[in-house]
Amino acid sequence: MFKTILLPIDLSDRHEQALRVASELARAGDGEVVLLHVVEIIPGLPEEEEFYSRLERVARKHLSALNDRFAREKIPSRVEVIVGNRARAIVGQAEETGANLIVLTAPRIDPDKVSAGLGSLSYMVGIFAPCPVLLVK
């Protein structure tokens, strides 16, 4: 069903459920998981190549460990690391890879402050994505 699943990951450890869901969906549909990390460009900071290169190396190392996990489960996967705006880069990568699904870890929104969630990454990706988006909590 889902042949290409895009799985945006930051460097935190809060993605376990999203990893499991992507794994199950890829296995069920003989699909591939594309692990994506976007190194956010910091506005106002001069674009120092070494600074962003170091962040890219750290991200690749983190995603490589997750990629090894998919390999052990015999699920095709690959790693992509991009420098840019997170929401735009995720949507662009979904278009570029022909993703059929984006699996995204969603933040917990305070019911008393629902409008705060309107600026979240998951909200922006959900609005602009060219394919379905599955939010995992």
At residue 63's C-alpha, the angle toward residues 67 and 94, to 5°, is 85
Bridge partners, 40 (sequence order): 84
What pLDDT sits at residue 106?
84
Dihedral angle over CA of 125, 100, 60, 14, nearest 10 = 60
| Beta strands 77-84; 32-40: pairing state | parallel
Domain of 53, CATH number, reads 3.40.50.620
**Could you give the CA distance from residue 120 to residue 41 in angstroms, rounded to a whole number?**
17
What's the pLDDT score for residue 137?
A: 86
Name the amino acid, one letter, at 131: C
Distance, in Å, from the CA atom of 58 to the CA atom of 130, rounded to the nearest integer, reads: 29
Instruction: Identify the domain containing residue 66 by its residue range.
Output: 4-136
Indicate the pTM of the whole model: 0.90
**Per-residue pLDDT tens digits of the chain, which is 137 residues long:** 899 999 999 999 889 999 999 999 999 999 999 999 999 988 777 667 788 889 999 999 999 999 999 999 999 999 999 999 999 999 999 999 999 999 999 877 666 765 555 568 888 999 999 999 999 98
Q: How many domains does the structure of the chain reveal?
A: 1
Contact by Cβ (8 Å): 79, 63: yes
